[in-house]
Amino acid sequence: MRWFSALPLGPRTARHRTWVPAMVPWRASPEGDVTPAVVEWYRRLARGRPGVLVVEATGVRDVPSGPLLRISHDRFVPGLSRIVAAVREASDGATLLFIQIIDFLAIKRRVPRETFLRRFATVDDGLRRRLAEATGSCAEAIGALAETEVRDRLLALEDDVLARVLSPRDLESMRRGYRERVTDLHRPHIRELPRILPAAFAAAAERARAAGFDGVELHYAHAYTMASFLSALNDRDDGYGRTRDGRVRLPREVLRAVLDRVGTEMTVGIRMLGDEVVAGGHGIEDAAWFATELAREGAHFISVSKGGKFEDARDPKVGEAIYPYTGPSGHECMPTTRIGPPGPFGRNVPLASAIRRALREAGVETPVVASGGICSPWQAEQILREGHADAVAAARQTLCDPDWFEKIRLGRGHEVRRCFFTNYCEALDQQHREVTCQRWDRFDLASASLKSSDGKRRLVAPDWVP
């Protein structure tokens, strides 16, 4: 099978074209450290001997980020090297191990209306003017009110009036929680991102090398900083937005910094969106152009995902933070059997295919990785045979049955435990609870050594079970 043939990825070569893309299983410590449960998660995935295993999104900046792994300081290297050791041992060295490195901006939990209006709403001349207009009051009188009096008046407004008085940004923050954007140029630390991030990603890659990884995957997809630079919604006016050239500038500079640091020894790939799937976002034309630019810059692979944005996510409940996989673009990212035609299976392959075609037409041979609803060897073979991609990735199917690649390779495909594609796992992910699979997490619970914090689910898939 082509799926079990070798694939060169820059300085390293994957033994097979089977691929496990990044999945956050919510097992890191609150300080971002590797825990024994993280190590066991990757050890179990490695026993299925995928060609490539990508460790979950891991933060490059040393900022508190809850139980998400971090690679933002040398103190994280010993923990990360424990993942490497476990994967080497469990796969007998058959699996290339990459780590996905990510930057993200601040998001805050949604606070109650009263808290927002008392503490966070911006009371400036514009708001006073709109308040006077909306309530038919004298502008001078409103202008003379003390700030606390203005806030009292905001609190007394009906919601529809308040919606006309608050700035659009404040209204959104009240309904959806405050969220920083790459376009907030009035904030110095956001303006400075292009100066800070190339070095931060390069230092993270250096730590990945020190920990023993084979490669890094730069997270340029979904709702996070680098995808927001590539986004068609990026209207920064400092040369890092607006045009395609402007939008790809920082992603290219980050890639260059990482390649310069580790690119001769390690694989340096990109995960990016083939389509943002939000109003005003970019589609496949821009994605194909970006992929070509990044491949020409030297990226060793392009892994294609879709959607997963904040813009169309569901409003969070009070006390919760917005989550980017809850709206239509999120559903495209991890499609279920409930999604519309043509269903979840191989749904996003056309994006990978279009990107690969654009690369080849530009004379670039960079491998392309397809993912999204892949759960059978027939799909994988067809994708490879017809030239839609060079490697075929499966996240949820591998979570469901980490041994499935081996079962297929050994001619025991009838023993594969198939994913239901109904996203029980993703629902746990949304609640930031330990991710497990409904097809194995209650199996032989008594003998499981690692259990979820409520003790009701095993955290590691059982041994090879048909």
Ligand X SMILES: Cc1cc2nc3c(=O)[nH]c(=O)nc-3n(C[C@H](O)[C@H](O)[C@H](O)COP(=O)(O)O)c2cc1C
CA dist 389 and 35 (Å) reads: 35
Q: Does 430 bind ligand SF4 (CB under 6 A)?
A: no
Backbone angles phi, psi at 163, to 5 degrees: -65, -25
Task: Indicate which single residue of 34, 96, 425, 448 sits in contact with ligand SF4 (rule: CB under 6 A).
Answer: 425
Judge residue 132's burial from the number of C-beta atoms within 10 Å of its C-beta, 0-12 exposed, 13-18 middle, 19 or more buried: middle
Regarding 464 and contact with ligand SF4 (CB under 6 A), the answer is no
Closest contact distance (angstroms) between CB of 308 and ligand X is: 7
In whole angstroms, the minimum distance from the beta carbon of 422 to ligand SF4 comes to: 5
Told to check if 24 binds ligand X by CB under 6 A, we report yes
Q: Pick from 4, 420, 443, 464: which binds ligand SF4 (CB under 6 A)?
A: 420
Residues 304 and 369: their CA atoms lie apart, in Å, by 6
Q: Which stretch binds ligand SF4 (CB under 6 A): 78-86, 143-151, 258-266, 413-421?
A: 413-421
Pick what 459 binds: ligand SF4, ligand X, none; C-beta below 5 to 8 Å, kind-dependent: none
Gap between the Cα atoms of 247 and 187, Å rounded: 19
- b/e per residue 356-380 (b: at least 16 CB within 10 A): bebbeeeebebbbbbbbbbbbbebb
Q: Which helix (H) or strand (E) holds 273?
A: strand 267-273
Spell 72-111 as b/e; 16+ CB within 10 A means b.
Answer: beeebbebbbbbbebbbebbeebbbbbbbbbbbbebeebb
Q: How far is the CB of 410 from ligand SF4 (least distance, A)?
A: 22
Contact call for residues 166 and 174 (beta carbons, < 8 A): yes
Quick check: 261 binds ligand X (CB under 6 A)? no
Q: Enumerate residues 412-441 that contact ligand X by CB under 6 A.
A: 425-426, 429, 435
CA distance 324 to 365: 32
User: Of 183 and 371, which CB lies nearer to ligand X in the complex structure?
Assistant: 371
In terms of CB distance, is 174 or 200 closer to ligand X? 200
Q: Least distance from C-beta 57 to ligand X, angstroms?
A: 4
Residues between 367 and 406 with contacts to ligand SF4, criterion CB under 6 A: 396, 399-400
Can residue 53 be called a binding residue for ligand SF4 (CB under 6 A)? Answer: no
User: Does 461 contact ligand SF4 by CB under 6 A?
Assistant: no
Q: Which residue has the tokens 């940004």?
A: 169
Taking the C-alpha atoms of residue 446 and residue 438, their distance in angstroms, rounded to an integer, is 16
Beta carbons within 8 Å of 6's beta carbon, 6+ residues apart: 13, 14, 15, 16
Q: Which helix (H) or strand (E) holds 140?
A: helix 139-144
* 396 is an interface residue for ligand X by CB under 6 A: yes
Catalytic residue status for 224: yes
Residue with the two structure tokens 């040398």: 74
Nearer to ligand X, 128 or 396 (CB): 396
Per rule CB under 6 A, is residue 23 in the interface with ligand X? yes
Contact 394, 16 (CB under 8 A): no
Does residue 422 touch ligand SF4 according to CB under 6 A?
A: yes
Q: Which of 42, 178, 220, 224 is catalytic?
A: 224
Is residue 452 part of the contact set for ligand X (CB under 6 A)? no
* Residue 400 interacting entry, from ligand SF4, ligand X, none, C-beta within 5 to 8 Å by type: ligand SF4
Output 32 or 373, the one with its CB closest to ligand X. 373
With CB under 5 to 8 Å by kind, the binding choice for 221 among ligand X, ligand SF4, none is: ligand X
**Cβ at position 440, least distance to ligand SF4 in Å:** 8
Q: Which of 373, 379, 404, 460: binder of ligand X (CB under 6 A)?
A: 373
Q: Is 314 helix (H, G, I), strand (E, B) or coil?
A: coil
Kindly tell me which of 218 and 262 has the beta carbon lying closer to ligand X: 218
Q: Binding to ligand SF4 by residue 424, rule CB under 6 A?
A: yes
Cα 126 to Cα 185: distance, rounded to the nearest angstrom: 20
Interacting span for ligand X (CB under 6 A) from 17-25, 29-37, 188-196, 352-360: 17-25
Query: Which of the listed partners (ligand SF4, ligand X, none) does 392 bind, with a CB threshold of 5 to 8 Å by partner kind?
Result: none
Query: Considering the complex, what minimum distance in angstroms separates the CB of residue 184 from ligand SF4?
Result: 35
Query: CB of 183: closest distance to ligand SF4 in angstroms?
Result: 35
The least CB distance from residue 21 to ligand SF4, in Å, is 13
SS3 of residue 370 by DSSP = strand
Are the C-beta atoms of 24 and 57 separated by less than 8 Å? Answer: yes
Among residues 262, 219, 211, which one has the least CA distance to residue 88?
A: 211
How far is it, in rounded angstroms, from Cα 81 to Cα 86? Answer: 9
Rounded least distance, CB 334 to ligand SF4, Å: 8
Instruction: List helix spans (H) across 186-327.
Output: 188-191, 193-211, 225-230, 244-262, 284-297
Count of residues near ligand X by CB under 6 A: 25
In the region spanning residues 100 to 119, those forming contacts with ligand SF4, defined by CB under 6 A, are none
Q: Which of 28, 57, 107, 111 binds ligand X (CB under 6 A)?
A: 57
Q: Provide the CA 369 distance to its chain's centre, in angstroms.
A: 16
Active site residue ranges: 224
Which residues are near ligand SF4 by CB under 6 A?
396, 399-400, 419-425, 437-439
